[in-house]
């Protein structure tokens, strides 16, 4: 730790508070990759979210409840069981071709928001 000062010195000396949790990544078939955002508060109409769940595990995350749609009621499942969408290039390119030129797509949020089938 020679030469470390300030926050670098403190970081190097920091004890571990919690051991890393074991995280399971599971592949989930994808019906779609693009999701329409209907909120007037957002500056975009489309989102692409490649997974459900998040290893960060923030207790205040707006997306935590979405694991319940998959019948996962354990509060810790959101950060321990992360579902990654299986990539299908044909499906993805087909969705992109349907968008008007110039549309913005927000990439990566914690999960896909629930949307009724008629809103997709």
Residues 48-76 have pLDDT tens digits of 888 888 888 788 887 888 888 888 888 88
Instruction: Provide the 10 A C-beta neighbour count for residue 101.
Output: 4
Q: What is the mean pLDDT of the chain?
A: 80
Please state the domain extents for the chain.
22-119
For residue 98, what pLDDT is reported?
94
Mean pLDDT of 92-106: 92
What share of the chain has pLDDT > 90, as a percent? 12
């Amino acid at each position: 730790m020679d030469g470390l000062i300030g926050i670098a010195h403190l970081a190097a000396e920091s004890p571990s508070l919690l051991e890393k949790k074991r995280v399971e990544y599971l592949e989930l078939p994808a019906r779609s990759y693009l999701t329409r955002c209907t909120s007037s508060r957002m500056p975009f109409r489309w989102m692409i979210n490649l997974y459900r769940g998040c290893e960060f595990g923030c207790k205040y995350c707006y997306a935590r409840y979405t694991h319940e749609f998959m019948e996962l009621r354990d509060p810790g499942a959101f950060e321990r069981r992360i579902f990654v969408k299986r990539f299908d290039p044909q499906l993805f390119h087909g969705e992109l071709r349907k968008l008007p030129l110039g549309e913005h797509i927000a990439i990566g949020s914690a999960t896909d928001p629930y949307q009724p089938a008629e809103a997709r």
